[in-house]
Every structure is written in C-alpha cells, then in structure tokens.
C-alpha cells in the first residue's frame, strides 16, 4: 500500500491539543531586586522546558524497543501546521493530539514514527498462486493479515513552568466535553469523530488516554491516543492498526511503546 494511502487511513483518526499560550509565572522581589520567575508562589525558580537537543536524546530509538522500527517521520507522515481544525472550538485539542500535532505551544519538540509488524505482516501478501487456492474469505483474511501493522506517532513536547500540566488539564477537559463526537477537517478533508472514550492508563506523573472513534467515507475506525506528563514534558502517542480497521476489531494501547518512552523520561 502506498504511503499516501496508508496515511489517509491512519490519520483518519487523528487530532491534538488546544493552542495554549504557556508563559512562565512572574514575580518581583520586594527589595527591588531582579525579577525572577517563580513556581506557584513557592519562591522556587520556575521549571524550565527541555531544549530540542535534550528531547532528541530522550525520544525513542530502535534500540529501545524489540520488534519495532523507529524513524523520524517524513513530510507524508504528518499533517502540515494549521491544517487540522474542529467545527467546535472546544474540541480542537482532541482533534490536534489525535493528529499528532503539538499540544499547546511547546518550547521544543521531538517526534518519531514507531512501527510494529505482526509475523504475518512481515511475510507480506501470499503469492498469486497461493491466493488462487484460497476461498474468497481466506484470501481476504490473508490480505488483512499482511496489513497487521501498528503505527504509533510518538511525540515529546516540552514547556516552561507549569505549561505541561495546564495543557494536559485542557486536553482532559476537551475529551470530556467532546465525548459524543464532533466534525473536524484535516488537510482539507472532512472527518467525523464519532466518540471519544476515556481509558484508564497509568503513565508518568499524570495522563489522559482515549479510544477515538472516527468515520471516513462510511468506514469506521479507532485510534488510541495517550498523553502523559513527566516533569515539564508531555509525551503523546497516536496509534492505529490498519488490519483492525478492515476487520472491524478493537486493538490495544501500544503499551510497549508507552512504557519504553516513560522509562527514558525517568
């Protein structure tokens, strides 16, 4: 399947976080000294966002995961900035993380595309001769088995001060408000989000997790979305299994990917 075709299907179920302007809290010393950023009035210096270079050292690599391929996404793997929107403004955060776009306005980011193939997918499609000996149902299942590939766009976004937690709180609120679904547009193509279902998942210091149902051209699909916070950094995951769409089946969260990234962030 060509990359563009996979991308159109995979990104059917994608969206992300509200455009928040995150600024450090400010305060001035009573003795007229230098103004310093403070953390919630505690007197401690405000937490600093990690730099792009630091995030690149922390984002997943192939060495961190067995049986997975990890690479930098190409331009055909991601949506262009500003190309994702929701008809209801309060649902824009969901629409953007789903699309693996930056949550809020991070100071720095890093991103990788993580791919896991089943054993059947690794073998590819049966030969023409083999398919000819199969029933129609067997051939259809063999074709779907060859597409049993889970793609997970993994993103790290870093924020100053309490920006990571505030962005995560906004995501959680958006998921609750838009649980019944909404319409969105991605790269000029309209899509219908049919539901945003909360899942229980423990990761990092705080996390949100959803199964997002979508429909495009009458075909239903699901995307798994997770965002967790570790310090001043958010880790976002938008995961899709191609064969599951064809079979109309549910699939699980990319637990191995999430746990590996959590371990690297410490």
Query: pLDDT for 37-84, tens place per residue?
Result: 344 444 556 789 999 999 999 999 999 999 999 999 998 899 988 899
Q: Position of tokens 């089943």?
A: 118
Q: Residue 128, Cβ neighbours under 10 Å: how many?
A: 7
Write out pLDDT tens, residues 33-48.
Answer: 333 334 444 455 678 9
pTM for the complete prediction?
0.78
Predicted pLDDT of residue 104: 85
CA distance 56 to 45: 25
CA torsion sign for 88, 89, 90, 91 is positive
What domains are defined for the chain? 3-27+37-120+149-265 (3.40.1000.70)
Nearest to 60 by CA among 232, 249, 260, 236: 260
Residue 82 makes CB contacts below 8 A (sequence gap 6+) with none
Residues of the chain whose pLDDT is less than 50? 1-42
Which pLDDT value is given to residue 129? 79
Q: What is the pLDDT of residue 12?
A: 38
């Amino acid at each position: 399947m060509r990359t563009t075709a996979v991308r159109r299907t995979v990104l059917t179920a994608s969206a992300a976080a509200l455009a928040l302007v995150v600024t450090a809290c400010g305060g001035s010393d009573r003795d007229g000294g230098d103004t310093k950023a403070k953390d919630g009035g505690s007197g401690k210096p405000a937490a600093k966002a990690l730099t792009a270079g630091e995030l690149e050292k922390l984002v997943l690599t192939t060495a961190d995961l067995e049986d997975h391929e990890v690479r930098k996404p190409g331009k055909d793997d991601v949506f262009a900035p500003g190309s994702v929107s929701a008809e209801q403004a309060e649902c824009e955060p969901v629409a953007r993380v789903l699309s693996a776009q930056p949550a809020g306005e991070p100071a720095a980011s890093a991103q990788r595309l993580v791919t896991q193939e089943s054993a059947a997918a690794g073998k590819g499609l049966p030969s023409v001769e083999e398919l000819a000996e199969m029933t129609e149902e067997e051939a259809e299942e063999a074709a779907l088995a060859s597409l049993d590939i889970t793609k997970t766009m993994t993103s790290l976004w870093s924020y100053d001060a309490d920006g990571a937690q505030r962005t995560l709180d906004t995501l959680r609120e958006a998921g609750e408000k838009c649980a019944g679904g909404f319409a969105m547009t991605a790269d000029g193509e309209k899509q219908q989000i049919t539901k945003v279902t909360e899942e229980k998942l423990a990761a990092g210091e705080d996390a949100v997790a959803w199964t997002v149902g979508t429909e495009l051209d009458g075909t239903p699909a699901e995307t798994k979305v997770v965002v967790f916070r570790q310090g001043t950094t958010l880790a976002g995951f938008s995961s899709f299994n191609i064969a599951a769409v064809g079979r109309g089946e549910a699939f699980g969260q990319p637990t191995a990917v999430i746990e590996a990234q959590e371990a690297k962030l410490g």
